[in-house]
Amino acid sequence: MLICRCEEVTEEEIRQTVRDGAVTVDEVKRRTRAGMGLCQGHTCSRLIARIIAEETGKSLDEIPIPRVRPPVRPVSIRLLGTL
What is the CATH classification number for the domain harbouring 19? 1.10.10.1100
Query: In the chain, how many domains are there?
Result: 1
Q: How many separate helices (H) and strands (E) can be counted in the chain?
A: 4, 2
Provide the residue-wise pLDDT of the chain in tens; the chain has 83 residues: 999 999 999 999 999 999 999 999 999 999 999 999 988 898 999 999 999 999 999 999 999 988 766 667 777 888 877 76
Question: Alpha helix (H) ranges present in the chain?
Answer: 11-19, 25-32, 45-56, 77-81
Phi, psi of 67 (to 5 degrees): -70, 140
Residues spanned by the domain of 45: 2-81
